[in-house]
Amino acid sequence: MGHGVSATIVSTDVDFTHRIQVGKFQLTADEPASLGGQGAGPAPYDYYLAALSACTAITLRMYAQRKGWELGEFKAELSFSKDADGKAHIHRVLHASGPLTDAQWSRLLEVVVNTPVTKTMREGAEITSERGAAAA
């Protein structure tokens, strides 16, 4: 297996607020008040979009640098929705302030379809679970 990542999440004494440890980074997850949370941090689908947007930006920046293209300021706007059948849909709108040609944009739109996180989300991942020891 290639790149390994791990995360640990621990509940707090406040309803849905949880502390997440990813490597050396501390994050908070919660639900908005409208869903019974405190809004103390992004909700799970917010992190889902954040992961995809980060991979999008980093991958396209790496690709452009290898090609010697100037992206300038890059921005990706992502939206998540579910249709009447419950199928998830994500739409990305990409922006760059650099002087890119139509051909360069076409290539970037081809590349973005195959970023690592895009592929994992599209193809799915095997998810397994097991019971651990009681929390300390």
Q: What is residue 2's predicted lDDT score, i.e. its pLDDT? A: 60
CATH-assigned architecture of domain 43-123: 2-Layer Sandwich (3.30)
Prediction pTM value: 0.88
One pLDDT digit (tens) per residue for the chain, 136 residues: 467 789 999 999 998 999 999 999 999 999 999 999 999 999 999 999 999 999 999 999 999 999 999 999 999 999 999 999 999 999 999 999 999 999 999 999 999 999 999 999 999 999 999 999 887 6
Dihedral sign, CA of 118, 16, 34, 28? negative
Q: What is residue 1's predicted lDDT score, i.e. its pLDDT? A: 47
Q: Could you give the angle at which helices 102-111 and 44-67 cross, rounded to 10 degrees? A: 130
Q: What is residue 135's predicted lDDT score, i.e. its pLDDT? A: 72
CA 27 – CA 22 distance, rounded (Å):
8
Which residues, in sequence order, are CB contacts of 62 under 8 Å at separation 6+? none
Do 82 and 88 form a contact (C-beta atoms < 8 A)?
Answer: yes
Per-domain residue ranges of the chain: 1-39, 43-123
Q: Report which secondary-structure segment, H or E, holds 56.
A: helix 44-67
